[in-house]
Structure 1
Amino acid sequence: MSLVALGEIPDAVNKLRLDFVARPRKSHAFIKAQLLSLKDALQKHQDSIVSALLHDFHRSSQETLVTEFGPLLSEISYLAGNLSSLLAPETPDAMPIAFSVASCKIEKEPLGTVLVISPFNFPLSLSLSPVAGAIAAGNNVVLKLPGDKCPEFCKVLSRVLAEALDPEILVVVTGGLKEAQAVLEQKYDKIVFTGSTAVGKIVHAKAAESLTPTLLELGGKSPAFITAGCPNIRTALARLFWGKFCNAGQVCVAPDYLLVQDSVYDQVVAEMVAVLQKTYQVSEASDYTHLVDSNSFNRLAGLLEKTRGKLLFGGARDRETNFVAPTVVTDVDWDDPLMQSEIFGPILPVLRYSSLAEAVQTVQQHHDTPLATYIFSDKQEEVQLVDSIRSGALSVNDTVVHAGIHTCPFGGVGTSGMGNYHGRYSIESFTHRKVVLKQPYWYEVALKDRYAPYSAAKSNWLMFVYRLPSIRRVRQSDLVTVLAVVLAGLVGYFIGKR
């Protein structure tokens, strides 16, 4: 890994691209060694990383360990342990009969050089999860870290990466807007960006100039529903508040607002107070995470001053430390300032609804395609209704945890992003499916009718062949099963003849 300054970015990226051209196919042994080296370095420097995030925005050690270290180390272990099978070539399930004698496989070819632009809110996992996936797929990587938001963390992680990874496969840039603009001026084979929709549009537009594909994870206003079908309101609220207030609400998949059915609204509000008083009586001196900077603090303080809702709990804040306490605002309507854009902080607006179908339609009208949708209900018809909202994911009776499951794809849809990654889905995102076909010469007898001079007879014959059903490829496991059945039948036949 090499850490480069602003003026060195063009040469560093160009060298990384040339290094990939010189070594486009890295051995599985090399890739696995890099992944395991990264895992070992992270474990070795775990305390330093935790301390750095505590320094940058008062992030509690438990939140860093549970939401970042645990899922990330698990994913890296999965990639390293299953690398050969993840990168193994595939074969088509079936072939058109006209080409059935050809040898055909689908290779997973690395794209080349990938740019990963990391956000500040989970700067460990949201930088290294795509980096690990891109490296596992055989790519070189440029990593842009948010040095303007969490400088101490970026210093520590840069040292960790320098210790762990080969400088020919990774370049790290740390800084703010100027550095981000400089890295975007370079040519890549894919860009991964995690952040706001507004900045995501800028990244996507810049990438389009060079026809560079993008993987965008953009967040949005993710709704949560509590219906009369919720069997345990107190547990539902505990799970909801954990997802909302973790990391001081600076979570892209956090429930952004809550919709509660009329018939249980008063009960839910009463239970809210009990759960909040038990769990979220915090101050700026406690281990509750703070906002990352004064801009975030001023934005959220402004929303609390402008809202027309009723303050149910919280509202305390400290400008000097960028602390905003977990806050719940009830009796909010759709036109409230809290409902205009993603909150990205520890403020939960609560809305009332009577018809779930109408509430779903209203969500679709105001905030279509969120990154996640949540519902607390055991009624399947209610879950199906909420599932009609197009979103990156749907969680039933829990929040946020789906984003940390490395065996499932993570990503948005529409305004909440495009593409996905994690585990084998990272391999899919960072490779090109390359068809490799080998046609035997002896088959020329069946192919010669495609050549000129053309005729109606040739056309009719070729079109007839194309209309024939495709032939399913017989896999080795299928063949073994067939042979076993035949053998069993023969054994049974001869036993019966005795």
Structure 2
Amino acid sequence: MATINNINPSVDNIPIAVNRLRQSFFDRPVREISELRGQLSAIKVGLDKHRDQLATALEKDFHRSVLETIVLEYSCISGEIDYLTKHLASLLKADGPDEKSSLFSTLNMKTEKIPLGCVLIIVPFNYPLELSLSPLVGALAAGNNVALKLPYDKCPEFCVELTKMLLESVDPDRLIVVNGGIPESNALLDQQFDKILFTGSGKVGHIVMEKAAKYLTPTVLELGGKSPTFLTCHCGNLKKAWKRILWGKFANAGQTCVAPDYLLLDDKIYDKAISVMREVYKEMFPRINADVDYTHVIDQRAFDRLTGYLEKTKGKVIVGGGKDAASRFIEPTIVTDVEFSDILMKEELFGPILPIIRYSDLGKAVDTVRLKHDTPLAIYIFSDSTKEQELIKIIRSGGMCINETLMHAGCHSTPFGGIGQSGFGNYHGRYSIATFTHQRAVLKQRYWAEFTVDIRYPPYNYAKVRKLLVLSKLPAVPCLSVWNILAYVVVLAVGMIVGHSYTN
């Protein structure tokens, strides 16, 4: 196994490394767009150069299919880097106000997007390429320096390869890469950062929040939860629906934070749907065992937890269920006759097990989901009924797909993030720029406009109050050049008239 001792700061050296990172930001807090673009382009070149090695490394770490890595991770982050590189100037451009009230009409106003400073990104094992590079390129594009914590304890081969790529591609004054496990994460969380983005479990999310509170550090938490999937009697194509459900559930062996955690299946189509599911399952997994091109669970602890669920469930395993402890392989498994009280429904499964719950009334099923598993990271529905699609929207969730699964999580054109127990904050594309910048209001007042602001100075009198009341009642005007000129004229005229009336 490769070693990272020469390119990874030790736990004891993490405070020194972070302090250097902060100092380098203080020394150069502003960077030109051309430099930021160049940094993104260098990462893209490095990503393309190391693509095959990164995918192969994940295959070594937990039997992840090379094709699955390309489809689920490389293609998504490659497109996002291209987008940020192309649109960076407009994304970072200062915004002007939509309108001005008369009291502020003489002000020149804009909202700048300035970097936060130093950002900590803590990466999980399940999608370590996408979940490291997507927030990383967003933070770097916004002008920040970054400390990137990689899950070396879970997928060491990949972490070594990604670290090499990043060291070749990124200015060392702007990035430190820390490989390790819990000790390294704790050491980083003990340092002062300007923002923390953590992806992982809710349990660890609480720890991150507690650590961040010491420095009042804002956080973005991408957690998980039991994301429900509804398959209703108004589904227009059961076979295609099942393909999308099984793909979404069993991709990466179910180790996906937005995977369909369980399925709620309409009683009206139950028998037919199960029959179609069996056909689709055989097509997608004609031969499934520990040796085929299918991802295994990440470690022994995860294997024991998932197989323990299968042993304790009161539901019925109708497909799958096979396992191999030596390689941590678990067959894609579907369990029927599951109740909300079952062991499979206690927490997010995060593995290749799909429980199926029957329902007869969609409204009651939705209410139960809201009661039992409020604010999941995603909700899914397979139905051609607009009424049913709208009904499940009352479930608060980080994201939602209709007749599809997973796709929203990889789309850089839309925000990705949770709500409530599934986290808060979001990123991807232009939303990353918003997350990793501070929107600073910059106002500039002209000296000739003193007559409009003199009412704020003591001594106060009724003439000033009258003038203020008159100006405050004037309608706001849109911020167009012609309107601005008109606004100045109106304010000037009103000010002179009101002021003259009270001096005579």
Task: State the secondary structure of the residue aligned to 1:408.
Answer: coil
Residue range with higher mean Cα deviation, 200-209 or 319-328 = 200-209
**Candidates 312, 316, 324, aligned match of 2:322:** 316
State the 1:446 CA deviation: 1.2
Instruction: Give 2:207's match in structure 1, choosing from 188, 202, 211.
Output: 202
SS where residue 45 of structure 1 aligns? Answer: helix
Secondary structure of 2:198's counterpart equals strand
What do the CA deviations read for 1:316-374 (whole angstroms, capped 9, x no partner)?
01111010110000010000000010000000000000111100000000000000000
| Residue of structure 1 equivalent to 2:3 | none
Given candidates 395, 398, 401, the residue that maps to 2:401 is 395
Say whether residues 1:189 and 2:194 are aligned partners.
yes
Partner of residue 450, structure 1: 456
The 10-residue stretch of structure 1 (460-469 or 59-68) with the greater mean CA deviation from structure 2: 460-469
Contact 1:392–1:413, Cα closer than 8 Å, also in 2:
yes
For the residues of structure 1 that align with 2:354 and 2:30, how far apart are their CA atoms?
49
1:168-219 CA distances to partner (integer Å, 9 max, x unpaired)? 0000000001000000000000000000011111101211221100011001
User: For 1:184 and 1:260, how far apart are their aligned partners in 2?
Assistant: 43
Check the 8 A contact 1:2/1:171 in 2, yes or no.
Answer: no
Q: State yes or no: 1:330 paired with 2:336.
A: yes
Local SS of the residue matching 1:59:
coil
Q: 1:411–1:417: 8 Å Cα contact kept in structure 2?
A: yes
1:435: Cα distance to partner? 0.8
Give the whole-Å Cα distance in 2 for the aligned partners of 1:317 and 1:14.
47
Residue correspondence of structure 1 range 241-252 to structure 2 within 5 A: 241-252=246-257
TM-score under structure 1 length normalisation:
0.94
Which amino acid in the other structure matches residue 363 of structure 2?
A: A
1:360 aligns with 2:374: no
Q: Distance in 2 between matches of 1:475 and 1:10?
A: 51
- Structure 1 residue aligned with 2:56: 51
Select 1:427's aligned residue among 430, 433, 452.
Answer: 433
Q: Assess if the C-alpha contact under 8 Å between 1:293 and 1:322 holds in 2.
A: yes
1:50 shift after superposition: 0.8
Deviation at 1:474, TM superposition (A): 1.2
Q: CA–CA distance in 1 between the matches of 2:232 and 2:294?
A: 30
SS at match of 1:369: coil
Q: In 2, Cα distance between the equivalents of 1:408 and 1:447?
A: 43
Deviations 1:256-312 (A, max 9, x none): 000011101111111111111221241000010000100110000000001000111
Give the counterpart of 2:282 among 277, 284, 293.
277
Match of 1:304, SS state, is helix
Compute the displacement of 1:442 (Å).
0.5
Number of residue pairs matched?
A: 479
Are 1:254 and 2:293 matched, yes or no?
A: no
- Are 2:303 and 1:297 aligned? yes
Q: Cα deviations across residues 101-147 of structure 1 (Å, max 9, x unaligned)?
A: 21111100000000000000000110110000000000000000000
Q: What amino acid maps onto 1:19 in structure 2?
A: S
Q: Where does residue 82 of structure 1 map in the other structure?
A: 87
For the aligned residue pairs, the C-alpha RMSD in angstroms reads 1.5
Asked if the contact 1:223–1:258 (Cα under 8 Å) also holds between the matched residues in 2, the reply is yes
What is the CA-CA distance between 1:97 and the residue it aligns to? 1.0
Matched with 1:343 is: 349
Partners of 2:363 and 2:209 in 1: how far apart?
Answer: 34
| Secondary structure of 2:261 counterpart | strand
1:16 maps to what in 2?
21
- Please show how residues 219-238 of structure 1 align to structure 2 within 5 Å: 219-238=224-243
Tell me what 2:474 maps to. 468
Q: CA deviation at 1:2?
A: 6.4
Which residue pairs with 1:33 in the alignment?
A: 38
Matches of 2:358 and 2:168, distance apart in 1: 53
Consecutive aligned runs of 4 or more in structure 1 exceeding 4 Å deviation? none
**Counterpart amino acid of residue 396 in structure 1:** I
Whole-angstrom CA distance in 1 between matches of 2:446 and 2:412: 42
1:121 matched residue in structure 2: 126
Compare 237-246 and 91-100 and name the one that shifted more. Answer: 91-100
Post-superposition offset of 1:475: 6.4
Looking at structure 1, the residues matched to 241 and 52 of structure 2 have their Cα atoms a distance apart, in angstroms, of 33
SS for the counterpart of 1:135 is: helix
Q: Distance in 2 between matches of 1:133 and 1:416?
A: 21
Q: Which runs of 5+ in 2 are unaligned?
A: 1-5, 486-504
Contact 1:104 / 1:438 at 8 angstroms: preserved in 2? yes
Percent of residue pairs identical? 51
Q: Identify unmatched segments of 5+ residues in structure 1.
A: 480-498
Structure 1 residues 398 and 475 mapped into 2: Cα distance closer, same or farther (>3 Å)? Answer: farther
Letter matched to residue 143 of structure 1: L
2:244 match: secondary structure: helix
Which of 103, 127, 139 lines up with 2:144 in the alignment?
139
Task: Give the letter aligned to residue 408 of structure 1.
Answer: T
Query: 2:502 corresponds to which residue?
Result: none
Q: What is the SS of the residue equivalent to 2:135?
A: helix
- Closer/same/farther in 2, CA of residues 310 and 475 from structure 1, 3 Å limit: farther
Matched, 1:106 2:129: no
Equivalent residues in 2 for 1:145-156 (5 A)? 145-156=150-161
Give the superposition deviation at 1:3. Answer: 3.4
